[in-house]
Amino acid sequence: MNNTGNDCYFKEESDSFLIFCDNSTDPPTPYMSGRSSNFQILNISIENNQMSVTTFVAKDCYTSSGVSSQKNDPSLTLAIFPISPAKNMFIAVGCDTYATFRGRQGSTYTTGCLSSCDSISDVINGSCSGIGCYETSIPRDAHRYNISVTSYNNHSGIWGFNPCSYAFVAEDGFFSFSTGDLYKLPFDVVPIVLDWLIPNETCDDAKKNTTTYMCKENTNCTDAENGNGYQCNCLEGFQGNLYLRNGCQDINECVISQPCIGLCTNLLGTYNCSCPEGLQGDGRKDGKGCTPIIHEKSFHSINVVLGVSISFLLIFLGISWLYWGLRERKISRQREKFFLENGGRLMLQRLLSEHEGSIESARIFTDEELKQATDHYHESRILGQGGQGTVYRGILPNNMVVAIKKAKILDRSQVEEFINELIILSQINHRNVVKLIGCCFETEVPLLVYEFVTNGTLSDHIHKCGHESTLSWRARLRIAGETAGALSYLHSDASAQILHRDIKSTNILLDENYTAKVADFGASRLVPLDRTQLTTLVQGTLGYLDPEYFHSSQLTVKSDVYSFGVVLAELLTGLRALSFERAESERNLSLYFASAIKAERLFEIIHLRVLNEGNPEEIKEVAMLASRCLRVKGEDRPTMKEVAMELEGLMRVMDRHPWVNQSCDLEEAEQLLGERSRKCDGILKSNASGNDDSISNQVPFEIESGR
């Protein structure tokens, strides 16, 4: 080894490994000469057997017209030191990028990264997991590689925020991805870690020649796990330059790490801990330490202390038992108080006297039963949250899955009305109304227990892209008919007339057979026999709210008819009832739908699948029915019984003549739509519940019900 000044050295005997200094810089910059190029040396760690050098980044850039403007596919060839697979990663950056790492270890192999995205909004800062950035490990024994980076679409469509693709091998932890890297990578060279070794010999072969054996005193030799050669390491308890004579020196642990609580004695390669006189133990911080030596005279004192401690423990246990007993008694009394305040006794009396034999249809649950069913109302059991409260998924002891609705704080003046609603709902037995299984009065606010409906809401299946193809025209018409039949039953055939008051696609659930189930009666009202309308504070969901009810506060059965008309329009068009992502004239579906019919542009807004599968006359007939439901004056709207009969008639015609639905084929639909393409009419920025805006009491907005 020869000194060239400024702490730089080189080996003259071989041109396969040469370190030299560029003296034109201050301080001089060290370089390593490889077989194909020179590499700037950033660091050499003798103790860790590693060396850091710089290498280049592969680049593939395009102009806005998709023409290649810059292409660079670097390679690296090393004579001795292999690339460390444990300390490096292969990384590709770009939203239209495919990069390959082609190496050689006796035979040629190739690995690669793929990164793709359509918009910078998809990219996550700090995450190199495939969206704008992807990384992977490299194989062992790699002395050379070629990096190639390409683009599938020449960065067309994304050039504004990502004109180039990049790929490189770099030290793990060097690169932290951010969106700014898509515009321009802030570096052209990167650090790469090489494993330092003595080449072309194993430890056993090297030890035979004491002249060339590189491991000196106080070292051990290990065969390299990466590459062909061996490495030297200082023995445990030693540190220093292991390639120099007497380079590995003993570590004085007593001074450096101070491992002892007691007395520390440094030994060659290790240390010893001991305790001072009068103490016993191993004296180590991570061991038993040092404790006083206990003599026989001390045992009496210990027994006294132990007896006193046990006495205090027994007194503490007695006080705790008394405290918990009184606490449970207080909780029991509080549950009884809530039961009475919430009308539990009155509820039971009415069910017994007025509805004999129907107790099982409205089971009275205890607070403890519902806590166990919901894992103490754990947040993982939440199905939905809304203005009326939170809905939890519960599992009863008989493994029956239910939906448990926990209401918000209830106005005590409305308890009687709440009880009446429960009595009526407990008597409803309609296949298209979510069944009320029971209730609980032992909590501060009553809880309702419903059957669990498995297939989500109608809104999910109309508006979410993943569900778009699941609802055929026939299924949509059947769901509309089932919903209309349920509302007709509530208006005309129930023991007391019920106004739902919040009909919308998110309150229509679908079971495993896609059968409609009307849900969420939290805003419903009972109409006395001598009344046809109620005067109430306005409550409902924007987009579905009856304009006549909104202005007059007069709630009638025709208010539900209007809301159902909006749902029918949703089924026909696939559009949300209210969307601020659409043009101003199209935001409110009911107004947009009425405008399209008036301008004879109905088939321009009908959903493509409905056009493909439905008969034009049949679609027009349903659309006109929806239009009648959406009339401004309630007296001009049909009743729900009339709506249900008309939809039922259409279904019977479809059953008798299924071929009529084939008359509007795909070619005719394309002629009606022109070149219009249908996308999911989803709201990109959802509110707290992820669905509709609601209005309550004429002032605040409320999120939709959890049901």
Give the residue numbers annotated as catalytic, written as ranges: 502
How many helices and strands, by DSSP H and E, does the chain display? Answer: 17, 40
**What does DSSP assign to residue 584?**
G
Pairing of strands 291-292, 401-407: unpaired
Rounded to the nearest 10°, the torsion over CA 638, 642, 644, 650 is -100
- Count CA within 13 A, CB hemisphere, residue 44: 15
Helical ranges in 220-297 per DSSP H = 253-256
Write the CB contacts of 72 (distance below 8 Å, at least 6 apart in sequence).
56, 57, 58, 59, 60
Q: Helix, strand, coil % (nearest 5) of the chain?
A: 35, 25, 40
Bridge partners for 249 per DSSP: 239
Cis peptide before 27 (omega within 30 of 0): yes
Centre a 10 Å sphere on the Cβ of residue 474 and count the other Cβ atoms it contains.
15
Rounded Cα–Cα distance for residues 429 and 409 (Å) = 29
Closest by CA to 590, choosing from 636, 543, 650, 558, is: 543
Rounded Cα–Cα distance for residues 467 and 453 (Å) = 17
Rounded Cα–Cα distance for residues 251 and 270 (Å) = 8
Q: CA torsion sign, 295 to 301 to 304 to 308?
A: negative
φ, ψ for residue 642, nearest 5 deg: -65, -40
Q: List the structure tokens of 210.
A: 């004491």
Closest by CA to 501, choosing from 562, 433, 447, 460, is: 562
Q: Which burial class, exposed, middle or buried, applies to 658 when counting CB atoms under 10 A from its CB (0-12, 13-18, 19+)?
A: exposed
- List own/partner pairs for 584-589 with CB under 8 A and 24 or more apart: 588/543, 589/543
Rounded Cα–Cα distance for residues 384 and 364 (Å) = 23
